[in-house]
Structure 1
Amino acid sequence: MKYLTLIFIIPVVLGEFHVFAPYQEVKAAAQSTALLPCFFTVAESKNGLRFVIIIWKHKGTELIQYMDSIVKKSSRTTLLESELQKGNASLVIRNVVFEDEGDYECEVTEAPNSETRRIYLHVTVAPNISLKPPLVVVDQNNSLECRAEGFYPGVVSIEWLRDSQPLSSQGPVEIQNNPDGSFTASNSYTFTPTVSEIGGVFSCLVQHSSLNGGKEEIRLHICKPTLTISPRILKKGETKVYCKLDGCLFSKVTMRWLKNGYTSHVLTCEERRECISSTDVILSIPRKEWEEVSCEADLDGINKPLTEHATVTLEGVPEKTALGVALIVGFIAGFILLTLICVAFVLYKVCKKFQKLCCFYEGQCYVKKQTWRTKRKRKRSSLTDGANMKNKLKLSIFGETTEILKRQQQYQMEEANSHDVRFIETPT
């Protein structure tokens, strides 16, 4: 700065006409106020600014003019009028927009001398950088997106890093134009970390001319969120049950309790490593010895909520009472089913054993008619055959048992009279 001041003072001492611009390029953020510096000295200081003319142009179009102590200016541009007598012809631009970018000409004339200096104005807009989801969960396929919105100019770099090292197989940066003249860029990456990578640093690095140092890094930590409910056994007089979410740095979490199908005790946590919600569970013996509760947590960036179920019981009451009841009901249902299977199996065996008497064809069943005939003077072997048939007839259909017994008595009487017996089947 001292160097620039000396350069500016030397022409004044020598009494020479000179126009000086300390910078050839100036950066200004959109919607801010830009100052384009331009200084001059006059050859005849005794005349003051009587014969001095100052004109500023942008892309060949006149913006402002100073002549005969009158300043012609626009709504957003002006000169530092109080500084003109000191040789300061700097241009002030208020509420800078993208269209203000470009070459500016500072022309100062002291007849017959005239000089022009050029300054380039760079309009910049810092990007709004976001990272979705805001956390990386282990054993989960994380579809990540690093996004830079509303920046200008449109030259940007987006890179994924793990432990400050670039990740392999990175996709290209997609850039699109916004209606207001700014730009939006994004870069996506799919990543499935393992438990061994918990504690590692995963980050997105954005580089743009508007940023401090030219770059900005957003970091994520690889973590594993856990949800726990405690206590599950309440002592006498206790009613509070707590649901705890931890394991990560959560940008936003919504927790809620579910009891008997109803939602209650909704809690929201932001920028926390731990979030705890509580609910009341009132139990008593023998009216209500246990209760089923559930705790859910919606994590910003994770589509599926975390859920934890628990059976809360009183001290001295088995924790799994509800499970025991369910097991008993299941046992009874299983016993009934097994009984039906056994009955069906027995019926199947009976019908198979008496398939000569029970015939199932086309949904109809018929019974073979039994007839008896006797002949005299048969061999003894026929009597033996009749005895075997007697045993078989005892296993016939239940409706014919009485008839068989009668026939058996008749057979015994005939055998005593040395008569032969023959069993003839005649289908009905």
Structure 2
Amino acid sequence: MAERTILGIFILLSLLQTYAALDVFAPSPQRAFVTNNTVLNCTFSVDKQPLDFSLLSISWSFQEKVLLRYDSKGFSTQDPRMSFCVESLGDGYASLHISNVTIPDRGTYVCTVIYSTESKKKKTLLKVLARPRIYTLITKDHRNTESILTCKATEFFPPDIWITWYRNEEVLRNELMGKPQMYKDGTYQMDSSMKITSTNEGQKQIFSCRVQHDSLQEPLQMNFQLINEDTETSFNVVTVVYIILGLTAIPVGIGIFLWIRKNAGKMVTHIKTLQIALLSSMKSKSMYIVSLLNIYARCILFFAYKLIYILSQSVNKR
């Protein structure tokens, strides 16, 4: 009888030595953005320190499937994107690291911690978000009397989104709102259009497309003004001219340099001849303009040559 009592006391003392009050904490919900890396926080604590790793077991599960596990046998994972820092277990960190987050990763995760004979679980909800990108398009009818403004929001999740039109900060109504359409990766895109009557006053007004979404801390907004056809055509012509001038600047500069070296002695004679030709062609306006431009170009070449000559002399003296 005494032997049994002693054995019972020994077993009880052994249990008391290994038992430690366990507590687990995991905040919920937690948020992550598509293609980013994220951490699902889960921490634990025990009363008895230091921690005995031979008594510790940690696992994470998702949709009733174990994603990874750590115990006295080591670490194992079912998904290479899932991991946690084993070195941080001594500080009570059992957080799950997920790399390259995708839409299907959203849902409820379970963090399970076992220490000695005690086991506790905590659930946490992961919300996956994707920030929208916005684009605008302006099209006109064949009479150029109406403009259709289109605002496209793409690559966002979840599908709930709000697109609002403004004219000088005044909300516009009667917009044509499309339905969200899903991409293959699970994100969505949606269009919103507004028809505007083209007027001279419209050229001075600022139109805005404002997008609100759960993934945004503040709305996205794009502003633009309507441009009439004549203004737009003039702008395009000027742009093309500048591009051509820029592309021809280098070869023209090389040609000018070579020409100056060959014809430097004739510069003054050419200028005087052109002056006489200019006076004789005053009767034709077009000829006058052409002659004036020729004189201007030759003068520039002459002074450029002089500058190059002075610089070359300075270099030779050194």
TM-score normalised according to structure 2 size: 0.65
Is residue 120 from structure 1 mapped to residue 106 from structure 2 by the alignment? Answer: no
Partner of 1:100: 105
Partner of 2:45: 41
Q: Which amino acid aligns with 2:85?
A: L
Q: What are the residue-to-residue correspondences of 1:156-167 with 2, within 5 Å?
A: 156-167=161-172
- Paired with 1:97 and 1:254, the residues of 2 have a C-alpha distance of 47
Q: Which blocks of at least 5 consecutive residues in structure 2 are unaligned?
A: 1-19, 247-276, 290-318
Is residue 66 from structure 1 mapped to residue 70 from structure 2 by the alignment? Answer: yes
SS of 2:80's partner is coil
Q: Is the alpha carbon distance of 1:253 and 1:83 closer, same or farther for their aligned partners in structure 2, counting shifts above 3 Å?
A: farther
Partner of 1:187: 192
Task: Answer 1 or 2: which has greater strand percent.
Answer: 1
Is residue 109 from structure 1 mapped to residue 130 from structure 2 by the alignment? Answer: no
- Paired with 2:283 and 2:70, the residues of 1 have a C-alpha distance of 91
Partner of 2:297: none
Q: Which amino acid aligns with 1:58?
A: F
User: 1:204 aligned to 201, 209, 214, which one?
Assistant: 209
Q: Is the alpha carbon distance of 1:55 and 1:253 closer, same or farther for their aligned partners in structure 2, counting shifts above 3 Å?
A: farther
Is residue 220 from structure 1 mapped to residue 224 from structure 2 by the alignment? Answer: yes
Does the 8 Å CA contact 1:52/1:110 hold for their aligned counterparts?
yes
Task: Answer 1 or 2: which has greater helix percent.
Answer: 2
Q: Which blocks of at least 5 consecutive residues in structure 1 are unaligned?
A: 1-14, 229-242, 246-251, 258-263, 269-282, 291-311, 316-428
- Paired with 1:253 and 1:35, the residues of 2 have a C-alpha distance of 54
Q: Which amino acid aligns with 1:72?
A: S
Does the 8 Å CA contact 2:60/2:109 hold for their aligned counterparts?
yes
Is residue 314 from structure 1 mapped to residue 288 from structure 2 by the alignment? Answer: yes
SS of 1:50's partner is helix
Does the 8 Å CA contact 1:30/1:125 hold for their aligned counterparts?
yes
Q: Which amino acid aligns with 1:85?
A: G
- Paired with 1:57 and 1:186, the residues of 2 have a C-alpha distance of 38
- Give the aligned CA root-mean-square deviation in angstroms: 3.4
Deviates more, 1:42-51 or 1:104-113: 42-51
Q: Is the alpha carbon distance of 1:82 and 1:244 closer, same or farther for their aligned partners in structure 2, counting shifts above 3 Å?
A: same
- Paired with 2:169 and 2:176, the residues of 1 have a C-alpha distance of 18
Q: CA deviation at 1:118?
A: 1.1
Q: Is the alpha carbon distance of 1:38 and 1:227 closer, same or farther for their aligned partners in structure 2, counting shifts above 3 Å?
A: closer
Percent of paired sites with the same residue: 24
Q: CA deviation at 1:177?
A: 1.2
Q: CA deviation at 1:39?
A: 0.3
SS of 1:85's partner is helix
**With CA pairs under 8 Å and 6+ residues apart, which has the higher RCO, 1 or 2?**
2
User: 1:31 aligned to 32, 35, 38, which one?
Assistant: 35
Q: CA deviation at 1:127?
A: 1.3
Query: Which structure has the larger Rg?
Result: 1
Q: Is the alpha carbon distance of 1:113 and 1:265 closer, same or farther for their aligned partners in structure 2, counting shifts above 3 Å?
A: closer
Tell me the number of residue pairs that the alignment of Structure 1 and Structure 2 aligns.
237
Q: What are the residue-to-residue correspondences of 1:16-415 with 2, within 5 Å?
A: 16-21=21-26, 23-68=27-72, 70-73=74-77, 74-133=79-138, 140-213=145-218, 215-222=219-226, 224=228, 245=235, 255-256=239-240, 266=244, 289=284, 314=288
Does the 8 Å CA contact 1:38/1:89 hold for their aligned counterparts?
yes
In the TM superposition, what whole-angstrom CA distance separates every residue of 1:134-165 from its partner, at most 9, and x where no partner exists? 99xxx741111100111112111112111222
